[in-house]
Structure formats: C-alpha cells, structure tokens
Structure 1
C-alpha cells in the first residue's frame, strides 16, 4: 500500500512519524477536540458546517487560534493532503489540542493540530446492504453539559460502549444521557421514524451536534418530511417503524434490529438519495 502522509501543524510528514511527547495534553488529559470529515472527488464536503462546529468547540475549550480554523483553512488543508496521498475519496480527521504544559491546569491556551486522511474508493455515500443490529448500552450514561455537543478527545464513554458492542456481537449501541433518554450511538446521531414523523434527540439532550444530523434535518425540511428534535424515551424503539444513524463519514446507516424488533429502511434509502444529490 502507498505510504500515507499527514499534516502536523503545517508540516507534511509520513503518517507513521513519531511526533508526540509524553507531555502532550491530548495524550495526558484528552485536552482537545476533533472533526471527522468526508472527502468526495477530491473536495471536502459540508466545509462550512465543519468549520462552524470546530470554531465553536475551540472557543468552548478556550483554545486560541480558532479564528484561523475557518472554511478556507479546512478546504485548503484537506485538498492539499488529498493530493499528497493521491486520493480522491476518503475519511479525514482533524485533531486540535491544547499545545502547552501544566498539570490539570494548563499554563497556556495555544493550540496545535494534526490532519489525517484514510483513502477509500467510495464516491459519495452508500447505504449499508446489511442492516445494523443494535442494543441499548446502560453501563455508562453520557453527561449533559456545555461540552456534550462537541467531539472532544475525552472519549471513554464511547470506548467502553465499543467494548460492550464487541463483547455482545452487536454492530453498534444506543447511548443514553444521564436522565436515561436516547442520546446517540457510538459514533453517530440517531433518527427514529414513528407514526409518519421523524424524531432525533435534541442538542440539549447531550448528543454531539453532528454535521450529517443537521444535513438530514435540512433535507427533511426542504422535502416536507416532518422532523422534530426532542427528548426521546428509549421505549420508542419498540414501536418505531424505522431507525437509522448518521455521521459525516458514512452518511446514513439503517438499523434492522433491536432485540426482537425489526425495522424497514424505505426512508433511509430516500434520504441517502437526496444526500448524494448534494454532492454533485
């Protein structure tokens, strides 16, 4: 396989370069955040939404340099890295961390960053051929606070949920918030189709403010599909007609089963067709 390159604070380096020291705050304290993005035909998609969330997250973490992380920066760096990796399509991850010393209390707020690219051959978004089998993960509830909507480097809740998924031979799990309401999945937002209405957990329920979540909401509004951001009791999963999860790298993945409950995927197919129209 062709060697891959990353962009580390403006330097294009081999992806296997040894770069971090033990004093790095992302390593020591999870002191940072990240954006997962999609490259399609050599272009970064939904760049304005990604830049807005990234800048808001950096401001929330009191990281300096957020004004530089705008749409132009993301687009330029992503497409430059795509050229270096000779890739037209793939998954990008931009990690931003507090680049300073200190213990729990940092002695500065300057930021560092690293952009990675994993090339693939998929142009656009494809719905999963095999529906996901999921269950509710209850061993750790996700806290609801002003950082809940961002993709921070403090990800142990998702790691433990991932271990649970593997142990129980599942494809993914539903996460609950601290009040026991539906929140998200391990790496995606959740949508529930129930009685001809689409529901997704509201941002004040603690879910990540997903880029694809917003894109799907916008598509539904434009098409006249009723959609509501709400507090959702997980019991609705027993009555729903359709359930799917979304993220910026995979688009839409439909769920076929939760316990003995089985779901359809008609709306999922319709929405992914509409989603791909946005990529033209």
Structure 2
C-alpha cells in the first residue's frame, strides 16, 4: 500500500500525472528510515533532517507536518508494524504545473514501505569490488548532500559498474576527491585512523552517517577524521567500507589490485546494531 497525502491507495494505482514536477524535473526529495519492533529508528533525527532539507529546497512545510503526525501517517501505511521490519521512504515533491519555474512551494507527500528480511544489519562476507567513476563529477556543495529524486549520476555510475563487472562505483567531486559509493558514504581505515569525506565535499548527509561518526568518536581506540579523500589513499588503506540505511556497513574487498580486510568494519557493524537495538526498545 501507498500513503499519498494521507490517503491509503493500492501500490499499483496512479498517483499523479506525467506533468508532475517530481517526474518532469526531479523536484522532490526523500528520507529513508527503518522500523524495527514497531519503532522508527532514530526518528527524531530523520524528521529534523527531512525538515532541514525541505527548507534548503525552499519547499513550504505544511503546519500539519509535525513529528507525531508523520509518524502516525507512516504507521497507518503498514500492514504489520509489530513483527515485520520495514524500510520506510518518505518522498516530498513540490506541487505545480509543467513549467520549469515553480509556481508554488506547496507539496505532495508519499509514504512507501519495503519489508526487510533482517531486523538488524548483517555483515556480508561476499566479495565486493569497486572502481572509481570518472565520467561525471558530483558538485561539492550542500545540494549534493540531499537525497533527491534526481539521482541520475549515481544511476549512470551503477550501470557502469554492472557493465564492467564491479559491485559498485566510487563517486568523485569536481576537485577529484572521492566522496561516496552510489548509495552510501565511504569510510577509509588505516590502522586505528578512520576517515570519511566532509559534507563540504558533497557526500550524503544521512542520519546513519551521523550516528556512526558519533559512535566512532566515543570509542577511545579509534581516531575519526572528516577530511577530503584522495584517490591515492584508497590503495594505501587497510579497509574500505560503505555505509547505507539499508545495509549498514558494507565492506569493500577489492579496489584495483588491492584487497582489503574487514575486521574493523565488522566490529563497527556490531556496535551499530547495538545502537539500533537500543533505539527500538525506547
């Protein structure tokens, strides 16, 4: 089922016409949040990120868009919110006609839910090879930190990966700094030093990124740094991993001729699961 502006409709029902701005211009954004044991994980952080991103895109936030209201709208969309685990996607699109110039800042919202097999993040032991995608570059600005429905560059990069036998591609900004995979943030491990790109480089500003950074910062055995990542650093690293809302920590096993271990990534996955479990019990 799909929740469209508060009305529950079948998933295969047409929601809007081909003139909708989300389709014509990618004039929409989305936020993904996990529901575990009937509770939305880190819901307050997801809510405030959604509000901040709507403001950045100059969308009008309805007076009804309180944290409690959206939580109720999410829960009424689900068939089995007590025992199933879901990945919830909240999409917000600007209303208006087919003119490029926006005639209104009012919005439509859509809530969809995907059932997940596992309640918590699982560590994959499969081979995961990546390559740099250098055909196009991500802009190093704050707009790139928002997950909008205009995901053309990551989509093209993922097609490149599939065509060339890679599991994913690493995206690069116009300054030739590595910022992320097609879906998740990149972390580089060298000894006890863990590095990830700063938001100013154009990487995704996700709640899961914020949580992992906070978690690593509280661990005395590691040193965390938010700084630009040069492509030359990748082959010198001990470990590389990606971080997404869907999979949590995904270890990279190979980049060009270099293979990597996953000891620290696996440990961080376990600690991340502990945070999710605690959030689901509150």
TM class by shorter-chain length? over 0.9
Residues of 2 paired with 1:270 and 1:84: CA distance?
31
Moved over 6 A (4+): none
TM-score, scaled relative to structure 2: 0.93
Counterpart CA distance in 2 for 1:42 and 1:234 is 42
State the alpha-carbon separation in 2 of the partners of residues 265 and 66 from structure 1.
45
Instruction: After TM superposition, give the deviation of residue 83 of structure 1 in Å.
Output: 3.4
2:153 alignment partner in structure 1: 157
* Structure 2 gap ranges (5+): 278-282
Structure 2 CA distance for partners of 1:51 and 1:33, relative to 1, 3 Å: same
Match of 1:231 in 2: 228
Q: CA RMSD in A?
A: 1.6
Structure-2 separation of matches of 1:42 and 1:172: 32
1:31 equivalenced with 2:23 (yes/no): no
Trace 1:249-268 onto structure 2 (pairs within 5 A). 249-268=246-265
1:127 maps to which residue?
Answer: 123
Aligned pairs for 1:60-75 within 5 A: 60-65=56-61, 68-75=64-71
Q: Is the 8 A contact 2:37 2:81 kept in 1?
A: no
State the alpha-carbon separation in 2 of the partners of residues 66 and 141 from structure 1. Answer: 34
Aligned to 2:141: 145
Is residue 112 of structure 2 the alignment partner of residue 89 of structure 1? Answer: no
How far does residue 75 in structure 1 lie from its aligned partner after superposition?
Answer: 2.7
User: In the alignment, does 2:194 pair up with 1:198?
Assistant: yes
Aligned to 1:219: 215
* Partners of 1:90 and 1:13 in 2: CA distance: 18
Q: CA deviation at 1:232?
A: 1.0
Deviation at 1:147, TM superposition (A): 0.8
More off after superposition, 43-52 vs 107-116: 43-52
Q: Is the 8 A contact 1:257 1:263 kept in 2?
A: yes
Structure 1 Cα separation of the partners of residues 213 and 10 of structure 2: 38
* Distance of 1:54 and 1:149 partners within structure 2: 12
What displacement does 1:73 show? 3.4
Q: Deviations over 1:107-133 (max 9, x none)?
A: 101011111111122111111121411
Q: Which runs of 5+ in 1 are unaligned?
A: none
Which residue is 1:172 aligned to? 168
Could you tell me whether the CA contact under 8 Å between 1:39 and 1:91 is conserved in 2?
Answer: yes
Equivalent position SS for 1:246: strand
Aligned to 2:268: 271
In the TM superposition, residue 78 of structure 1 has moved relative to its aligned partner by 2.5
Deviations 1:153-186 (A, max 9, x none): 1111111101101101111110001111011110
Q: Is residue 131–residue 253 contact of structure 1 (8 Å, CA) maintained in 2?
A: no
How many residue pairs were aligned?
276
Matches of 2:23 and 2:117, distance apart in 1? 32
How big is each residue's C-alpha offset from its partner over 1:11-33, in whole Å with a ceiling of 9 and x where there is no partner? 11111111120110000000011
Cα deviations by residue, 1:168-221 (Å, 9 ceiling, x for unpaired): 111111000111101111000000001320000000001110221111101101
Q: TM-score, normalised by structure 1?
A: 0.94
Q: CA deviation at 1:65?
A: 1.5
Partner Cα separation in structure 1 for residue 63 and residue 132 of structure 2: 39
